[in-house]
Chain A
C-alpha cells in the first residue's frame, strides 16, 4: 500500500499487507467484544425460553419472568448483538480495509459509550420488571420512562456510529484515498444508508412514547406507532441483509478466491434495496397513518418484490462467482466438481455457505410467502413469525457474522484461533440446531400456536380452551424446537469460547493461522487480464442449483395458497 504514514499510530498486517490504524483496531475490538457478550447473554435466555415453550418441560414456572426474558432476549440479540457487531464492521470497512486512519475516532468512542449505556439501561429496565413490554413496546402497554430514554440513547448512539462511517467514506473520497469502493465496502455503505432511515424512524416512534411516559403528552396513537416502529423494525432487517450479503461476498473472495462475475449487476442489486425498501416505508407514512392502509398494503407487493429481486440476484451471483473461480483453478469435473473442491473444513467457508443456504431456502422463501397480504392471515403472530426470522437473522446473519470473525478476529488481535477443532465443527452444529429449531417452531406455528405465549395448555381455563393445542403433532413440533434450541445454544456457546479465547488467551502470533485464504482476495491482480467467457454457461452448476431453488420456492408458494384455501370461514 502507500508509503508509511506519519503522525498516527499504525501497523502493517503481515498477512494482508493492509495498513492498520491502531485506534480503529481498539474501537473495533471493544464493539465486537461487547457484541459477543450480548450474544452470550441472549443465548442463555434463548435456552430458558425455548425450554419453557415446550409444554412437557415448561421450564420457567413464573409467567412474568418468562415475558421479561423473551423481551430481554429479543433486545439483546436483535438490537444489541447485531448492531454492535455491525458497528465493528463499519469501522473496519471505513478504515482498515481502505488502509486509512479513522477521520474522527472520538466520534466512534462517543457512539460506543452512548450505545453501551443505552443497552445496559434497556437490559436493566427489562430484567427489573419496569419494561415487560417486549422489544416492540407497543403503546398503550406501559414501560417506565427510563426504558424509552435508554432506547433513545441507544438509537442516537447508533446514529452517531453510522454518521461516523459516512464521514470516513466521504473524507476518504475527498482526499482521493479511494475512487470506486470495494464491493464489500459498498455493501456496508448501502447498509449505512438504510440504517440512517431506520434509526430516524425508530427515534420518531420512541420519542412520543417517551414524552407520553414523562407526562408531556397524554396519548400516543397505537397505529401510528406501529407504522413508525416497523419503519425501523423492518428496515433494520434490510440493514442486516445488506451487511450479511457483503460478508458473503467477502468470505467467498477470501475462501474461494471468488470475483463477482458481473460487478455492475451485483451493485445494481444492492441499489434495489436502497430504492425500494425506503419507498416502502415512506409510502405507508405519507398516505395514511391509520391501520387500514397498512393492513391492505396494496403497495407492499411491488416494492417488496423489487427488493426480493435484489436478493435473488445475489443468490445467483455469489455461488456463480465461486464456481467460476474454482473452475479457473482446474476443478472442472461435472456440474458440481467445483463444490467438492471447496474448503469445507475452513470454518469461515462453512459458516458462509450454511448461512447462505439456510437464509435463502428457509428464511427467504418463508418471508416472501408471509409477506403476501392474504397469506399473512395464516401466519401473523403465530410461531411461524419467529421461526421465519430465526432463519434470517440467526441462521443467516448471525452465522455469517460468526464466519467473518473466524478470519478477522485472529488478524485483529494477532493471536491464533483458540480451539480450531471446535471452530471447524461449530458452523455445522449451529446450522443443524437452527434447522431443527426452525422446522419445529414453523410447524407449531402452522398448527396455530401463538408466539410470545407462556402456557398454551391453559390449565385454569379448560372450559373455554377445549384443549385447543393438545394435539400430538403440536407436542412433537415443540419438542423438536426444544431439541434444536439445545443444539444451537451449545454451538453458540462453542463460538463464544472460541472467540473470547482467541481475544484473551490465544497464542500470540504476528502471522496467525486462519486456515487457507486465497491470496487473490487481497492482492490486486492485473487489471488488464481479460475475462474469458466460455461459449455455454459459465456457471452451469450454479444454474442447476438456482433452478432447483426456484422450483422449491414455487412449490411452497403454491402449497401456502392451498393451505389458505382450507380455512373454513369465508373472510371478505
Chain B
C-alpha cells in the first residue's frame, strides 16, 4: 500500500512542489530506515543525482550513545526534497550538514524531525542555502524532546543567501519540548554577500563574478569540513554553485 499523496495543508509539505512530485510519488512513498546500534557510528554523504525531481525519505534510529553524521547536498533542477526523521536514545548524537543550492524556478527543501527520546542526546543541524532567480529553498526543522529526555542539547543554524530579488528562503524551526532540563537553540539569517569581503577579493585581482562565487563557496564549503571523505560533495557543491552564480 502506498502512502496517501501529501497536500500543502500538511505543515511539512507546505512549500513542496507537489505537481512535480506527483508522477514519481509511487517510487518514493515509503521512507528508508537506517538503524545505528548502541555505540556505533554512521557517516553518510548524500550527493545529488541528475534527475529533475529528487526525493530522499530517510528514518534514522540511533541507539544508546550511537552517532550519525550526515552531509547532504540538495540541488535538484526542479524539485529536491531531503526528509529525515531521526530518533535519539540516551546519549546519542546526530549531526546534519545540509545545503540547498537552487537555480531558476527550482524548489529544494530539507525537512527534518529530530526526536530526542532518551536523556542526554545531542543534535546539531546546520543548513545553508544559496538561491538565484525564482528558486525556493526551505528548511523545516522540528525538534521534539520527549518527557524524560532531560539534558537534551539541540541546535539548529540556518542561513541563506539570495542572489536575486525573486528567490525565496523559508526557515521554520519548530520545538516541542516535554522535558524541563533542555538546551535548544536556533539561529536563522538571510543575507547578502559582505561588501568588504567582496572588495578585499577584488583588490587581489578577482573580477566581480569570481569574487562572488568564491565568497559563496566559502559560505557553503564550511559545511563539509568535518567529513572524513568530503571530496565528492565538495566537487558537487562547487559545480552546483558555478551554475547558480553564473
- Do A and B pair up? The answer is no
Interface residues of B (CB under 8 A from A): none
Interface residues of A (CB under 8 A from B): none
